[in-house]
């Protein structure tokens, strides 16, 4: 019996394959449970900023294999480039079977116009000298995620609820909160000017669906979130958009050997 859910459209972003924070096993499990007509990978799928030959587990490669399998089985896959996988931008508009690499995507769905892009174009920290600082910050963020996993492992041992340190830091910084608000407003304003019905972004790791209005009109702003902290996607089926949240009970589905290696790395770092 086919246990897959049929979807018209599926949007995921900010997977960051190749980093310790990526929940590749959970994403792989999720992808195996859905059958979308169109799959939109809205940027930062492979983290080429922090790519290391010493860390690219088989589970991360399995996600890539699953996406290619979906494409070969008839799903139209659009890979929208982001800042962490910007190296792919030189291949923009390349099409291989059902897989197409683009910098942005315009789609019509049920008579509605959609504008889909990653969102780093609004972020000055991804350009010039600030880009180098952002890359260094990305490595620090990955280290923070690694520490967070170790802490959550300890909390789980004593029966305590897990926490997200990085999310607490971001939520507590007023500048970060203001940036998110400005990001959403800017995307919406441009979309309204262009008379789009939907604008879909990634980049800021904040899943959301909301209507934004100004004196020129309104637009539905959506963000697919990420597969580092929120484990979310956007699903469209039977005329309705929803945010999918991966079942939290699956968070610790990590291969024992891989989990041991991650915890061992943390212990070495703390001991140094």
pTM (two decimals):
0.75
What superfamily does domain 5-271 belong to in CATH?
Metallo-dependent phosphatases (3.60.21.10)
* Long-range CB pairs of 2-5, under 8 A, 24+ apart, other chains included: 2/35, 3/33, 4/32, 4/33, 4/34, 4/35, 5/33, 5/34, 5/35, 5/237
Per the DSSP assignment, residues forming a β-bridge with 115 are 106, 199
Per the DSSP assignment, residues forming a β-bridge with 80 are 42, 102
What is the reported pLDDT for 153?
A: 63
**Domain extent listing, the chain:** 5-271
Token pair in block for residue 252:
């610790």
What is the reported pLDDT for 135?
A: 46
Tell whether the model's pLDDT for residue 8 goes beyond 60.
yes
Residues 254-263 pLDDT 10s: 444 444 444 4
pLDDT band at 192 (very low <50, low <70, confident <90, very high): very high
HSE-up (13 A, CA, CB side) for residue 134: 15
Nearest-Å Rg of the Cα atoms of the chain is 19
Residues 85-101 pLDDT 10s: 889 989 999 999 999 99
């Amino acid at each position: 019996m086919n246990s897959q859910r049929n979807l018209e459209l599926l949007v995921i972003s900010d997977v960051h394959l190749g980093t310790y924070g990526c929940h590749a096993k959970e994403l792989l499990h999720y992808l195996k449970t859905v059958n979308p007509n169109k799959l939109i990978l809205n940027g930062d799928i492979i983290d080429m900023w922090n790519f290391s030959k010493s860390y690219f587990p088989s589970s991360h490669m399995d996600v890539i294999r699953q996406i290619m399998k979906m494409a070969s089985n008839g799903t139209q896959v659009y890979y929208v480039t982001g800042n962490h996988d910007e190296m792919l931008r030189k291949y923009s508009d390349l099409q291989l079977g059902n897989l197409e690499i683009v910098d942005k995507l315009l789609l019509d769905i049920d008579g509605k116009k959609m504008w889909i892009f990653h969102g780093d174009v609004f972020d000055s920290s991804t350009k010039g000298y600030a880009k180098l600082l952002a890359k260094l910050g990305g490595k620090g963020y990955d280290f923070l995620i690694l520490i967070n996993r170790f802490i959550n492992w300890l909390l789980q041992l004593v029966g305590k609820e897990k926490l997200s340190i990085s999310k607490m830091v971001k939520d507590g910084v007023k500048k970060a909160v203001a940036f998110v608000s400005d990001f959403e407003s800017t995307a919406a304003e441009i979309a309204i000017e262009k008379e789009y019905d939907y604008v879909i972004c990634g980049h800021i790791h904040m899943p959301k669906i909301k209507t934004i209005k100004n004196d020129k009109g309104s637009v539905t702003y959506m963000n697919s979130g990420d597969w580092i902290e929120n484990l979310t996607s956007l699903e469209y089926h039977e005329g309705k958009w929803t945010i999918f949240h991966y079942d939290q009970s699956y968070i610790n589905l990590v291969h024992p050997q891989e989990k041991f290696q991650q915890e061992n790395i943390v212990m070495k770092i703390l001991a140094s």
